[in-house]
Amino acid sequence: MMPLIGNLSDRYGRKALLTFPITISIIPLATLAYSRSTEFFYAYYILRTLTAMLSEGSTNCLALAYVADNISESKRTSAFGILAGVGSAAFVFGTLAARFLSTALAFQVAAVLSMVAAVYMRVFLKDKLSETGHLLAQPILKQIVSNDDEVGDGESCVLTNKVAFKAFPSVGDLVSLLRTSVTFSQAAIVTFFNSLAEGGLQAAMMYYLKARFQFSKNQYADLMLIVGLAGMLSQLVLMPLLAPFVAEQKLLSLGLLVGCANTVVLSVAWSNWVPYATAVFTVVVVLVTPCLRSIASKQVGSSEQGKAQGCLSGIGSIGSIISPLLFSPLTAMFLSEKPPFDFPGFSILCIGFMTMIAFIQSLMITADHHHHQIPTHKIDCSDRLEASSCDHLR
């Protein structure tokens, strides 16, 4: 869904495409805000699953594309870092609020805040102006070929459907996007293995800490809070300071190398204070995602930011889906009473190998900031079409 939504936002504007996922994400929260009975609990899960197909990740993807639309390339890395820092700050304050609010009130506050976000976006967010001074947004169901064109009614209908259909990217379109730029394809590979590692760490870490050091859910929540605070400060303060002087490729490689070191230390943790101490690595690790997004954004033109960010988000989602399938069984195996060999943190070490692969790939990324036009499929016009009509369709 991410490449589709990103591609449509390139055609119809970020604001139009942001409205739908932000609005439907209110529905599951409002369900539990109304009641937490068994029936509403299952209704929440069904609605959450359905709405997540469109809203999960799309808001962040479109926000990144919006930033790329309005920020110059020289400042884009810092801007992506600040955007990620705001997200980390929201995570920190949300975690703190959940510790002090009652369960029922927490869902009500969440529903109200999601409504505020939707209203704020509709009122204050402005789509970028095109070179002609008009907004990029256009009606999604706009008729492409008007009745006044010098084309027969039947031909007009068929060709209109062809043009409209090409607004939706096929697998071939995504492959063409990856083949357009070597740098973009390398960033996509790094994104996949980094997402594989991050998803695996999230899937395995809680069980590992509980089995190894008898961590409670409150201790785990405290650890998440420390990690969130470190990430917030790094992205809001450190990233804008470093970005103007250090190339984003170097920051990316540094973040991945430190992330690899983090997982290796966790895999051999000898005391319950070690996970808290390794939280300091987060200061550098959180630089990875903004750097990847910035590198990808500089490989395409201003009219293709949504497609590029959507493609990267989709690849990251694939890694996040695969990782629990790989690392959860591995974690359970080595935390069982009869493991293959005595190494409780073996699954964490394997996650570190995924980060190492991403690090090695990041070293191959070059500072290529040339805009590559993403190939599109051509439309064959019959000999009976007038030249002006054919140009209009293209």
Interval 328-361: pLDDT, tens: 999 999 998 888 998 999 999 999 999 999 999 9
CA 167 to chain centre: 21
What's this model's pTM, rounded to 2 decimal places? 0.78
Q: What is the pLDDT of residues 225-262, one digit of tens each?
A: 899 899 999 999 988 999 889 888 999 999 999 999 99
39 vs 148, which has greater pLDDT?
39
Q: What is the pLDDT of residues 174-211, one digit of tens each?
A: 677 777 778 889 999 999 999 999 999 988 988 899 98
Q: What average pLDDT score do residues 73-82 get?
A: 88
Instruction: Evaluate if residue 149 carries a pLDDT over 50.
Output: no
Q: Which residues contact 165 (CB under 8 A, 6 or more apart)?
A: none
Task: Check residue 148 and give its pLDDT.
Answer: 43
CA 206 to chain centre: 23
Intra-chain end-to-end CA distance of the chain, in Å = 25
Residue 18 pLDDT level (bands cut at 50, 70, 90): confident
Task: Check residue 118 and give its pLDDT.
Answer: 92
Average pLDDT, rounded, for the chain: 81
Task: Check residue 182 and give its pLDDT.
Answer: 87
Residue 293's nearest CA partner among 121, 18, 12, 82 is: 82
Q: Amino acid identity of 277? A: A
Task: Check residue 171 and give its pLDDT.
Answer: 60
132 vs 281, which has greater pLDDT?
281
Task: Check residue 43 and give its pLDDT.
Answer: 93
Task: Check residue 217 and give its pLDDT.
Answer: 81
Helix (H, G, I), strand (E, B) or coil at 144: coil
Question: What would the DSSP string read from start to end of 226-288?
Answer: HHHHHHHHIIIIIHHHHTTTS-HHHHHHHHHHHHHHHHHHHHT--STTHHHHGGGGHHHHTTH
* Cα angle: 264, vertex 280, 253; to 5 degrees: 65
CB 114 within 8 A of CB 261: no
